[in-house]
Structure 1
Amino acid sequence: MPSSPSEPRSDVDLSVPSAARAYDYFLGGAHNFAVDREFADQVLRIAPSVPAVTRLNRSFLRRVVEFCLDQGIRQFLDLGSGIPTVGNVHEIAAQTDPACRVVYVDYEPVAYAHAKQLLAGHPFATIIQADIRAPEKVLEHPDTRRLIDFSQPVALLMVGVLLFISDEDRPAELIAAYRERLAPGSFLAISHIASEQAAPELQAEVGRLVDAYAAADEYVHVRTHAEILRWFEGADLVEPGLVRLPDWRPDNLVEQKSVAAPLGYGGVARIP
């Protein structure tokens, strides 16, 4: 989706920064406001290496979609899809098959509004405004039912969204609720911020990032490799398993050498 300058909606509180719009800013998108840019610049000052994870995460998403397409997948459910920016799932998928079906899910008003506008008239892609913590509302939404045939394999994308889900919200049970609806041969993709492999100075940056988001009333949950790996139990991890983001089926040596490379994990599993 091409970026274009955002106009604020009347129901958007421009006194509070948004994690989704800050993410868009880090990616070079245009769907963000002054309050978001001010917050993002603050993050850059206190944790200059961390925003590079957003770009590694976006690249991971592209490779995952390309892999799923190679496996014959033609349906995608993208949870927590965020602000529309270059390199969205339906754009990548359309390069292989323009008839691929894509449902984006996000609750953030600006993300929803812009995606709704940019996808207007698209026969095979849409966005629904919903909280991913309510799986039935997502899975039973009329637009989801219209585009996704759950009797056929689906790629379930949870890329960079679970870091905003607290332990109290039981992420493992949440993932299981979505997986139960997936046909055999479907794929589950997860990426998540982490810092256990990072040097002490990078770990300190992540700590400052968490504090900055908390101060903005956005809560980021950093987890370990072991915690994330448990979310794939009962599914078959595809090679190379749960690894650093740029190490998952890499195609860019520069990314693998990024200072931010130790700050996230990604993996994909096949539903047996």
Structure 2
Amino acid sequence: MADQINEGPGQDGATPTGISGETPASGAASSSDWSWTAARPSQEPVAIDTSKPSIARVYDAAIGGKDHYAVDAAVIAEGRRVSAAGVNSARVNRDLLIRGVRYLAEQGIDQFLDLGSGLPSAQNTHEVAQAIIPQARVVYVDNDPIVLSHGRALLAKNNCTKVLTANVLDVEEILAHPEVDGFLDFSRPIGLLMVAVLHHLLDEEDPAGMVETYKARLAPGSHLFITHFCNSFPEARTLQNVLVQSLGRGQLRSREEITRYFDGMELLEPGLVPLPLWRPNGPVSEPLDHSGLLMIGGMAIKR
């Protein structure tokens, strides 16, 4: 990862995971530490804090990626002690992202706003959409500066893809940003992705109000695609505690609470379901284990 990021070792001297000899740093992320979420000029050096885990890098570790540090892998190790299958829900979520974006592109959706996108990895939103519609436009938004560093490589060879470093809660700032306004045409249908992001927002941050503000800008024919941790089995609450202790944030919600994010839109079949059951590519083995039960997801269209 260091070669891709070009920022060298972090302030604590840590090297990317997979290189022997690293000792993970301790310390949890503060739930109010959003000082690095503002958009950055493309040439500004990207400072990666390797002394504490980040949501994007922890997710990368969970899906078997290489763009994380030992401090991030430690969060996954702790989660596996609670439920190894539950941690595997990250891979299940990635598979659903692929199916969902493919479905949207097959319906003719050719522009996407991917909020809380995380690190680009194999078969990410732009790759899936542009395989079907080569000129499909994608804007990734994430508050982790490491996403921007990887995004620069994308921008160098893909003028239909943009990456914006911002806090997804800053709705008006994001929608007015040059990387979004004018690049995406909000008078036409858009695929709005909130995949594995809302459970990182606390109730006091009003995620429901945030979702409504984004939805209000969508043209008819636009789709909202959400996946979210659900309190569907007892160990899910313990996994939430791992997130809170390590990242400073994380919140399970009930099916009813998650369903309300789609208010005012038409929820498409098969509705809000465990991720393996949303338009699977083939037969699904049931009963589902924790990897299939930890998150639920669905997609709705604005009529």
Name the TM-score, length of structure 1 as normaliser: 0.91
- Cα distance per residue 1:74-106 (max 9 Å; x no partner): 000000000121111010011111100000000
- Alignment match, 2:256: 226
Aligned length: 265
Q: Please say which structure displays the higher CA radius of gyration.
A: 2
- Cα distance per residue 1:170-213 (max 9 Å; x no partner): 111100100111110000011101132x3xxxx22x22222222
- Alignment match, 2:21: none
Superposed structure 1 runs of 4+ greater than 4 Å apart:
4-10, 254-258
CA distance in 1, matches of 2:10, 2:121: 18
CA distance in 2, matches of 1:257, 1:111: 36
Deviating more after overlay: 259-268 vs 43-52? 43-52
- Alignment match, 2:220: 184
Across the aligned residues of Structure 1 and Structure 2, the Cα RMSD in angstroms comes to 2.0
Q: What does 1:121-140 correspond to in 2, within 5 Å? A: 121-140=157-176
Letter matched to residue 52 of structure 2: V
SS in 1 for 2:162: strand
Within the candidate set 55, 60, 69, 1:19 is matched to 55
Letter matched to residue 235 of structure 1: M
- Alignment match, 1:261: 292
Unaligned runs of 5+ residues in structure 2 are 12-46
Within the candidate set 145, 159, 164, 2:195 is matched to 159
User: Per-residue deviation at 1:120?
Assistant: 2.2
Is this contact kept in 1: 2:10–2:50, CA < 8 A? no
- Alignment match, 1:270: 301
**Pair 1:246–1:32, CA change in 2 (3 A):** same
Is this contact kept in 2: 1:21–1:83, CA < 8 A? yes
User: Per-residue deviation at 1:64?
Assistant: 0.9
Counterpart check, 1:248 vs 2:278: yes
Within the candidate set 114, 139, 162, 1:78 is matched to 114
Is this contact kept in 2: 1:76–1:156, CA < 8 A? yes
Q: What does 1:30-109 correspond to in 2, within 5 Å? A: 30-109=66-145
- Alignment match, 2:16: none
Unaligned runs of 5+ residues in structure 1 are none
CA distance in 2, matches of 1:161, 1:255: 27
Identity level (%): 38
User: Per-residue deviation at 1:109?
Assistant: 1.2
User: Per-residue deviation at 1:258?
Assistant: 4.5
User: Per-residue deviation at 1:148?
Assistant: 0.3
